[in-house]
């Protein structure tokens, strides 16, 4: 895949930060000095620095310069535990944010209809949103709910935990989720949309959420930006 010059420079600068060559709080060389070092124009350096800023690696302070950002706890989450993305963000010391993108009412495909136990004429509500940590996009999600379950509950958007909203407005307590972890395919609509928002490597967690009575409630498709959010699982040997 072709890489632009500013992407190559951004990768090189990222390596300097991750290797410890540039430490947290340190002011990095200015645009002119970097342009001279890499034999490019200032606009190319500016594009490279924008990538680092989007990744949360640097802070640009007007009139002072550009500084390496103080690193916070990486958001590592065991996939054995069902936890909201907002909770993961806050537990790592970041400010959780949510950007709501839209809601639609559609006919479900055959798999969704079967796994949610829907009747022939039932429709589903599809909502999608981005999750941020200190303003940096770290996850993109879309959800599929039976319309007869949630009605117009999301017509004005969604902020905070879906689990809490279902508990408070529908009296539904989610017990667990059947989860599949998948790679991304740029040819698929939602995969391409997530990659556009996250601007970095990601994995998909496809989940069917089930309540305490064993009834399937909704699907979530959570695209996790793996440059900030990590997923881990302990696997014991089977002998």
**For residue range 44-63, what is the model confidence (pLDDT) as tens digits?**
999 999 888 877 788 888 78
What does the mean pLDDT of the chain come to? 87
Model pLDDT, residue 17: 84
What confidence category does residue 204 fall into, taking pLDDT thresholds of 50, 70 and 90? Answer: very high
What pLDDT, in 10s, does the model give residues 184-198? 998 999 999 888 888
Residue 107 has pLDDT above 70, yes or no: yes
Model pLDDT, residue 78: 63
Model pLDDT, residue 79: 65
Using only the alpha carbons of the chain, give its radius of gyration.
21
Crossing angle of helices 31-38 and 5-18, rounded to 10°? 110
Model pLDDT, residue 211: 95
Residue 119 has pLDDT above 70, yes or no: yes
What confidence category does residue 85 fall into, taking pLDDT thresholds of 50, 70 and 90? Answer: confident
pTM strictly above 0.75 = no
Model pLDDT, residue 129: 92
The share of the chain scoring above pLDDT 90, in percent, equals 48
Which of 24-28, 126-130, 200-204 reaches the highest mean pLDDT?
126-130
Model pLDDT, residue 2: 61
């Amino acid at each position: 895949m072709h890489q632009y010059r500013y992407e190559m420079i951004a990768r090189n600068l990222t390596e300097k930060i991750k290797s410890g060559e540039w430490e947290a709080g340190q002011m990095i060389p200015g645009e002119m000095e970097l342009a001279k070092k890499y034999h490019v124009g200032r606009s190319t350096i500016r594009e490279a620095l924008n990538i680092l800023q989007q990744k949360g690696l640097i802070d640009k302070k007007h009139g002072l310069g550009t500084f390496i950002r103080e690193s916070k706890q990486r958001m590592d989450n065991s996939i054995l535990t069902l936890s909201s993305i907002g909770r993961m963000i806050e537990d790592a010391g970041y400010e959780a944010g949510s950007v709501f993108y839209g809601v639609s009412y559609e006919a479900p495909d055959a798999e969704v209809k079967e796994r949610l136990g829907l009747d022939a004429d039932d429709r589903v509500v599809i909502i999608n949103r981005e999750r941020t940590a200190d303003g940096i996009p770290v996850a993109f999600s879309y959800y599929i709910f039976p319309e007869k379950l949630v009605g117009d509950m999301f017509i004005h958007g969604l902020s905070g935990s879906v689990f809490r909203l279902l508990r408070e407005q529908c009296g539904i307590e989610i017990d667990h989720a059947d989860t599949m972890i998948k790679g991304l395919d740029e040819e698929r609509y939602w995969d391409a949309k997530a990659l556009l928002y996250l601007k970095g490597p990601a994995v998909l967690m496809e989940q069917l959420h089930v309540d305490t009575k064993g009834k399937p409630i909704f699907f979530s498709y959570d695209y996790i930006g793996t440059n900030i959010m990590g997923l881990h699982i302990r696997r014991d040997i089977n002998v």
